[in-house]
Amino acid sequence: MRLLICVLGVVLGCGGLGAQTASWQPSAGHTQVAIWPGVVPDARRVTGPEVTRTETNDLVGGKPWVYINTVSRPTMTVYSPKGRNTGGKSTGAAVVVFPGGGYQILAIDLEGTEMCDWLTAKGITCVLLKYRVPGEGVLPKSGAYPQSAEALEDAQRTVGLVRFHAAEWHIDPHKIGVLGFSAGGHLVAAMSVHFDGRLYKAVDAADAVSCRPDFAVAIYPGHLSLSRDGPGLNPDIGRHISRLTPPTFLLQNEDDFVDGVNQSLVYYAALKKAGVPVEMHLYAQGGHAFGLRRTKLPATRWPELVETWLATIHMVAE
């Protein structure tokens, strides 16, 4: 976790690195697909190729974790519910997952593929988005845009693609949600309020369908508050909250020393004021960047809370 925290603080290379490969590939039986059919919009010049690294010293839940940096060609990988083709359970729901990493890296297994294993086991289609994190520049104190506009473009495009292919992928087009961690949690909030207009020019029919999520899950989100200790909500999010913002689940810890508890508190208050259904879970301990990996701390039991919440908002059966 220490390396991820250092990256979130825009100090790269604080931990010990294990194996390094040129680019990330999903597990056997899954194929990542480019989300843009041609030229990637608003492409930013990068200084090197995409690289995947394994952190072996700075363990999370007693295990190494894998991250990607210098992502310039965004992809999505679709993970279908386990056993669907052999009569297994499928809820019809789908979740687009945004790994975190401070808009500098993507914690692709800790906050990505491990989520897909959990979701598909529950009968939910998982779509893992490898969004652009060029890894250049730092986020301004006023918020993450326009520096991370590329990430929001990738997210808008992907949710639209999932809805466009809903029948083909056995998905209910009215049960498509987003789930993200840290910076990915900020991207969840951005998608929850920036869905009525794409940041890019339409490239095909998939951009004609709605990219509004039907539900949103933000786990230890960042970049929502104007400052770590201040009460103000990032205006790039706050100005656009409305009653159309989807039902939202929030989880954060009081001892989150990376982004601070105000990230969720200010967003929760703004959602309540707008009349948006929102459920928040706040824990005294748990820190930051633990993903789905269990520890003795109760915050790491959040998946069961999300499962119950999805049933209460009628995205899955009780």
Rounded mean pLDDT of 92-106?
95
Ranking 167-171, 187-191, 212-216, 257-261 by mean pLDDT, the lowest is 257-261
Residue 41 covered by a domain: yes
Is 138's pLDDT higher than 50? no
Higher-scoring residue by pLDDT: 6, 301 = 301
Ranking 203-207, 222-226, 273-277, 280-284 by mean pLDDT, the lowest is 222-226
Rounded mean pLDDT of 265-282?
96
Grade residue 212 by pLDDT with cuts at 50, 70 and 90: very high
Residue 317 covered by a domain: no
Residue 93 covered by a domain: yes
pLDDT at residue 144, as a whole number: 44
Contacts of 125 (CB under 8 A, 6+ apart): 78, 79, 80, 81, 90, 93, 94, 95, 119, 169, 170, 171
Residue 192 covered by a domain: yes
From the list 22, 11, 134, 150, the residue with the least C-alpha distance to 70 is: 134
Asked whether the CA dihedral 112, 164, 30, 69 is positive or negative, the reply is: negative
Contacts of 47 (CB under 8 A, 6+ apart): 70, 136
**Cα separation of 92 and 273, whole Å?**
31
CATH number of 190's domain: 3.40.50.1820
Rounded mean pLDDT of 297-312?
96
Residue 146 covered by a domain: yes
Collapsing DSSP to helix, strand or coil, 100 comes out as: coil
**Cα separation of 168 and 287, whole Å?**
40
pLDDT at residue 12, as a whole number: 38
Summarize pLDDT for 257-268 with one digit per residue, the tens: 887 888 899 999
Query: 142: which DSSP letter?
Result: T
Q: What is the pTM of this model?
A: 0.91
Summarize pLDDT for 155-182 with one digit per residue, the tens: 999 999 999 999 999 999 999 999 999 9
pLDDT at residue 260, as a whole number: 81
Residue 318 covered by a domain: no
Is 3's pLDDT higher than 80? no
pLDDT at residue 20, as a whole number: 66
Rounded mean pLDDT of 17-25?
72
Calculate the alpha carbon distances from 68 to 51, 54, 269 in Å. Answer: 6, 9, 34
pLDDT at residue 137, as a whole number: 46
Q: How many domains does the chain have?
A: 1
pLDDT at residue 46, as a whole number: 82
Q: Give the domain extent around 278.
A: 2-312
From the list 182, 249, 186, 263, the residue with the least C-alpha distance to 214 is: 249
Summarize pLDDT for 27-80 with one digit per residue, the tens: 999 999 999 999 999 888 888 889 999 988 888 888 999 999 999 999 999 999
pLDDT at residue 87, as a whole number: 47
Is 10's pLDDT higher than 50? no
**Cα separation of 137 and 101, whole Å?**
14
Higher-scoring residue by pLDDT: 248, 59 = 248
Contacts of 176 (CB under 8 A, 6+ apart): 93, 94, 95, 96, 159, 162, 163, 166, 213, 214
Collapsing DSSP to helix, strand or coil, 74 comes out as: coil
